[in-house]
Structure 1
């Protein structure tokens, strides 16, 4: 499944602490209604069986929306739930192994923090890149030092693959993110941690679209 660059515009990464349990399904539904265009289910503490159960519920909520759903790290869960793909970190299984098991029709995303990692991403195996961490973030305590917008721009230039920026990003960063050449912005707390996820998503999407010149 080829990643359409526009689908990366507003990329939601779910957080089990900010939105625990079954609340994730409602949050995703509301966020997509507000303009989220891509969803990554991320829960480092959940078992594969738990991830499958949640993924199936989220997948049902997304039915008919054309919004892709990928699972972070857990390839077995992604295959069992038959979601759109998987998002891998540098210390997870290789993109080659993931592609061999998923087949050509599924999405593989890869997190990259350095130019070397970006240049090492094989376009024949990887569909898009998650680039960062742009700013420090409490939702991923083990991230490497923040790279800022200048570092983000350097990573974007190192590959022709579609890309999405991640790491402490909020609405006020939309212009700077899009100016680097990134196709979109990934957020966690900017939606998951808000009292009204739909309104938060709508404000983010409006800012990103305006920064790209779509409004």
Structure 2
């Protein structure tokens, strides 16, 4: 049985790392067991994002790892990415679906139960509880779902649900038991002394 693309999503966090070095890091992670990559670089220029996305697509395609673009539907189309991940302030999913067609992935962040109920009536491929736990990697978080909130979302959502925010080796198993189908991560992989070992441990905790 194929592993779902949303099972273990690496969210990019290049910061000041040289691009070639960071691409090598992503390649290492891809070969170690991540199941998709989300390009999320909020402070980057449009030109740099395009260059970065082209490089990621070229790197990931031979490995059959989907590239998801955060926010930018136009960029996803320009580089032939697998799809987009949208927040509440981004392009509405209905408009994105018209632009992207039905063969591309659309993910949607959920910040309230109302968001979940609305998403149930929307043509998206997965939804993300944002954020499950406190995290330093995202500002303007409206709520922390916690395990109880995540469990409620899982019962209500008709789409596959992933967790985002503060998830690591210490709590991933509990996140999955609460009903998540996968997780998107920054710190648990980027900050690991041995990213390969970390990814292998994280994947094991999802079973």
Normalising by the smaller structure, the TM-score range is: over 0.9
> 2:84 pairs with 68, 83, 86, which one?
86
* Structure 1 spans left out of the alignment, 5+ residues: 210-215
Quick check: 1:199 aligned with 2:187?
A: no
Q: Match of 1:152?
A: 150
Instruction: Provide the residue aligned with 2:174 in structure 1.
Output: 176
> Which whole-Å CA distance do the structure 2 matches of 1:147 and 1:18 have between them?
31
Runs of 4+ deviating beyond 4 Å = none
Paired residues in the alignment total: 206
Matched, 1:43 2:52: no
Considering only aligned residues, what root-mean-square deviation do their CA atoms show, in Å?
1.7
Aligned counterparts of 2:18 and 2:174: Cα–Cα separation in 1: 31
**Structure 2 match to 1:15:** 13
The answer to whether the 8 A contact 1:95-1:126 is kept is yes
Change in Cα spacing, 1:127 to 1:20, as seen in structure 2 (3 Å) is: farther
Q: TM-score, normalised by structure 1?
A: 0.89
Unaligned runs of 5+ in 2: none
What TM-score does the superposition give when structure 2 sets the normalisation length? 0.92
CA distance in 1, matches of 2:120, 2:46: 27
- Post-superposition Cα deviations, 1:12-62, rounded to whole Å, max 9, x if no partner, equal 111132756333311211111211011101001112221121111111111
The residue correspondences of 1:1-215 to structure 2 (distance < 5 A) are 6-17=4-15, 19=17, 21-122=19-120, 125-209=123-207
**Structure 1 contact 75–86 (Cα < 8 Å) conserved:** yes
